[in-house]
Amino acid sequence: MSLTIYNTLTRRKEAFTPLDPTNVRLYVCGPTVYDYAHIGNARPVIVFDVLFRLLRHVYGPDHVTYVRNITDVDDKINARAAKDYPDLPLNEAIRKVTEKTEAQFKSDMHALGALDPTVEPRATEHIGEMRAMIDRLIAKGSAYVAEGHVLFSVSSMPDYGKLSGRSVDEMMAGARVEVAPFKKDPMDFVLWKPSKPGEPSWPSPGGIESPGRPGWHIECSAMSEAHLGEVFDIHGGGIDLVFPHHENEIAQSCCAHGTDKMAQVWMHNGFLQVEGEKMSKSLGNFVTVHELLTGWHGYAWPGEALRFNMIRTHYRQPLDWTLVSLDEAHKTLWDWYGDVESHEPAHETPAAVVDALSDDLNTPKVIAELHKLHSAKRFAELRAALGFLGFSGKRINIERKSLGGGKAAESADVDGLIAARLEARKAKDFAEADRIRDELQAKGIVLKDAKNPETGELETTWEVAR
Ligand SMILES: [Zn+2]
């Protein structure tokens, strides 16, 4: 079987051949942890989770490494920390904001049926590698020190603009290029910058005496190298990251390593808008995953319905997230699940489903295949395909009576709380774990903890108290 993927770099669909089939390597830009993930943030998580599952299916679950970073050093985080915890020292406030947001992100993404990536590196754990990469770029003449900053010299990268397919003039016109008197060229971008007193800071590269912190772009170049090597298979992210973020990642990595590419394939998911408009807080159509799971338009939506609604549109197409489409997605799932009697986990995935996914993740075609299986009453295969796409094989969240709230809403809520409790336990925050258990108990939900005999992982199931 052959897998084809659309490569943003070449602007065509290509047959995918991994550099090493025993270790297929995928990097996706992850969240900056300062606020709840909005539904637009969930799109790449779901799209690349489908890809991760497909790669595991094709190459074997132990032969795929998926890295998704966590950006925990950023101006937005500093601002949020100062606003939310004005009485705490900034670094302590930042730790509270990033830990809380990261746990919330994980719990939301679990509710959407996304597997954890193989590695989720935090930027602050890789500052040493960033510094080393910056020093290498300076030594090679691709970066220079100016007024406590280190800047990347765009003129040192002949291919700059290849990914976005734009000339330097177009890029300057289209992007908000920060003009600073110390830049040799307005397109040059920041690799390292000074920290203000009280802000997070680390010893600087380039012989700069005062401490500072990394720019955003260098984080991904350093973390992908640390976990996947100098050149890897697939780099993914939202289409809004093509320029400048991914263009800059390529420039940094290629110049530091002397390679002609950073990743073989670049994959980008399309934009997401809500009810026909670009999502924005001022328009009032800004919607978080947490809200959708706990209450949006009067309903709490099961994570599976959110996931299903997301993959009904091909990942490269723009997606309009609407109440009508979400309701439709929920009804279809309800219909399918209503006919699947056994809740046993399934084994064989239908070939037609794998074929459709292998054609540049053609999820609309997968759904057409599922409709065919449903109308032919081939429920065993339907169930297998549902499991393959990441829908729960263990517990069915969508029940007939639940359309528009009720039981499904309750179920999504309970799952979210259980995930949060497991996170709290992992972080040894037993007070929080107990608080969540008590909160559920008050709702008549009884939790049972047990070790999975295969994985050794702690798993929690629940039932309604009688
Ligand atoms: Zn990135």
Amino acid at 326: L
- Ligand 1 centroid from CA 370, angstroms: 34
- Ligand 1 centroid from CA 126, angstroms: 14
How far apart, in whole angstroms, are the C-alpha atoms of residue 78 and residue 131?
A: 21
Chain segment 418-431, per-residue pLDDT in tens: 878 888 888 888 88
* Strand intervals (E) in 272-350: 272-274, 319-321
283 CA to centre of own chain = 25
Pairing relation of β-strands 263-269 and 232-238?
Answer: parallel
Amino acid at 439: E
pLDDT given for residue 396 in this prediction: 41
With H, G, I as helix, E, B as strand and everything else as coil, classify residue 272: strand
- Ligand 1 centroid from CA 146, angstroms: 24
Between helix 363-375 and helix 351-358 the angle, nearest 10°, is: 160
Higher pLDDT, 308 or 381: 308
pLDDT given for residue 136 in this prediction: 98
pLDDT at residue 244 above 50? yes
253 with 152: CB under 8 angstroms?
A: no
- Ligand 1 centroid from CA 224, angstroms: 9
Contacts 24+ apart (CB under 8 A), 80-88: 80/34, 80/35, 81/34
- Ligand 1 centroid from CA 28, angstroms: 7
pLDDT at residue 325 above 90? yes
- Ligand 1 centroid from CA 41, angstroms: 13
What are the Cα distances from residue 43, in Å, to 109, 123, 237? 10, 22, 9
Chain segment 91-122, per-residue pLDDT in tens: 999 999 999 999 999 999 999 999 999 999 99
pLDDT given for residue 412 in this prediction: 52
- Ligand 1 centroid from CA 393, angstroms: 33
- Ligand 1 centroid from CA 405, angstroms: 37
Confidence of residue 300 (pLDDT cuts 50, 70, 90): confident
- Ligand 1 centroid from CA 247, angstroms: 10
- Ligand 1 centroid from CA 14, angstroms: 23
Task: Walk across the sheet containing 149-152 and list its strands.
Answer: 143-146, 149-152, 189-194, 212-214
- Ligand 1 centroid from CA 193, angstroms: 18
Chain segment 201-242, per-residue pLDDT in tens: 999 999 999 999 999 999 999 999 999 999 999 999 999 999
pLDDT at residue 366 above 60? yes
- Ligand 1 centroid from CA 329, angstroms: 31
329: which strand partners? none
- Ligand 1 centroid from CA 387, angstroms: 30
pLDDT at residue 432 above 90? no
- Ligand 1 centroid from CA 246, angstroms: 6
pTM: 0.83
71: its two tokens: 């950006």
- Ligand 1 centroid from CA 186, angstroms: 22
Pairing relation of β-strands 12-15 and 319-321?
Answer: unpaired
Average pLDDT over residues 358-373: 95
140: its two tokens: 């090679």
